[in-house]
Amino acid sequence: MQLSYYARIGDKNLKKLIHDFYIEIANDTLLRPMYKDGLDMAEERLYLFMIQYLGGPKYYDEKRGHPRLRQRHVDFVVDENAKYNWLKNMKIALGKSDISEDDKQYLWEYFQKTAEFLSNS
């Protein structure tokens, strides 16, 4: 039986990755203002989303319903600069993680595709 990416990466590593990402966001003058509800709630939402996306429990669906990524991001200007900064911050967080190189590559490819998908300007 093949392990899910969630099982391979591990909850502790995933939680640290998302936390480290939001540490970077806190210092990002372009992206930080987009988080009007604060970073803690956003960190929790991304963490729950990634658990589910990677094959773990469906906590995100239970709390928030279907992810509807485009609809949830429509109020934000996701232009090339925002996309670049988001990916830069995630790359830094990935670099700090103990996630295996193969799993980092899988995550990086997902984040790149999703950032492109969410671009709206």
Tokens coding 44: 């929790």
pLDDT digits (tens, 9 = 90+) for 20-71: 999 999 999 999 999 988 899 999 999 999 999 999 999 777 666 555 554 5
Q: Which residues contact 21 (CB under 8 A, 6 or more apart)?
A: 43, 46, 89, 90, 92, 93
Q: Is the separation of the CB atoms in 28 and 85 below 8 Å?
A: yes
Tokens coding 45: 């939402």
pTM above 0.85, yes or no: yes
Q: In angstroms, rounded to a whole number, what is the distance separating the alpha carbons of residues 19 and 40?
A: 9
| Domain spans of the chain, in order of start | 9-118
CATH class name, domain 9-118: mainly alpha
**What pLDDT score was predicted for residue 1?**
72
Confidence of residue 116 (pLDDT cuts 50, 70, 90): confident
Q: In angstroms, rounded to a whole number, what is the distance separating the alpha carbons of residues 14 and 102?
A: 14
